[in-house]
Amino acid sequence: MAKIFCVANQKGGVGKTTTTVNLSAGLAKLNQRVLLVDLDPQGNATMGAGINKAGLAASTYEVMLGTSDVATARQRSEAGRFDVLPSNRELAGAEVEMVELDNREKRLKDALAAVDKDYDFILIDCPPALSMLTLNGLCAAHGVIIPMQCEYYALEGLSDLVNTIKKVHANLNPDLKIIGLLRVMFDPRMTLSQQVSAQLEQHFGDKVFKTIIPRNVRLAEAPSYGMPGVTFDPSSKGAQAYIAFGAEMVKRIKKM
């Protein structure tokens, strides 16, 4: 049975997609079987895994509407050695079309149940909003990974996300937990980064992952080659950090 995690934060540009793609590749390097679910109509994770989002025969969109299934729509990322349920802008329409459907917050959960046994990890890249799509991610998951930049406004908006997670836990998905906050794009030379990082540890204790992801240009360059940073330049600091994060996650799920 796969452990399912959402990578979520309603802010854009905080490292969700980079984390989902590189954690997937990092886990694959550790011989874990991984499915990446692209739940963002921007399709950045799809492209970052080396899959062309234009003209997909089937995608997350069809799966959410029940006109295809995960086994049909998934594709192999050769660049990352994991499977991808790809998406593109069509998925934006699902939000509206799902209004008519029964059980609309559990469409993704039900669809993933059919491939659960094929994977050790299923990682869901959420869009930058607390929308019906994100709600589907949260209903399908055992836990949430929250990437955060250690900057002045990092904590702003976190309470909205935490409250949403609490509500989903109480009403829709009793399995759901915050697995942890992941410090990303970290610049150790900045005093402010150090301070915010220390505050996060103080406030959230062991909910803060031990691994810290540094700001590393190789991670930012890799998507333009259709590759995860982890396989694009495996010896780079960013790649090494995401492999270490993979190892931390493997350890975590043994305790779940």
| Distance of closest approach, residue 113 Cβ to ligand ADP, in angstroms | 26
Q: Cβ closer to ligand ADP: 172 or 247? A: 247
Secondary structure of residue 186 in the 3-state scheme = strand
| Distance of closest approach, residue 123 Cβ to Mg ion, in angstroms | 13
Using CB under 5 A, which residues numbered 13 to 42 contact Mg ion?
16-17
Q: Cβ closer to ligand ADP: 74 or 183? A: 183
Residues that bind ligand ADP (CB under 6 A): 12-18, 44, 128, 184-185, 213, 215-216, 219-220, 238
Kindly give the pairing relationship between strand 82-85 and strand 75-77: antiparallel
| Distance of closest approach, residue 13 Cβ to ligand ADP, in angstroms | 4
Task: Choose among Mg ion, ligand ADP, none what residue 139 binds, the Cβ cut-off being 5 to 8 Å by kind.
Answer: none
Total of chain residues touching Mg ion, rule CB under 5 A: 3
Give all strands of the β-sheet with 82-85 in edge-to-edge order: 75-77, 82-85, 34-38, 121-125, 3-7, 143-149, 177-186, 208-214
| Distance of closest approach, residue 216 Cβ to ligand ADP, in angstroms | 5
On the 0-12 / 13-18 / 19+ scale of CB atoms within 10 A, 9 is buried
CA dihedral 46, 51, 52, 58 (to 10 degrees): -80
Q: Are 140 and 55 in contact (CB under 8 A)?
A: no
| Distance of closest approach, residue 128 Cβ to ligand ADP, in angstroms | 6
Q: Cβ closer to ligand ADP: 139 or 219? A: 219
Contact footprint for Mg ion (CB under 5 A)? 16-17, 44
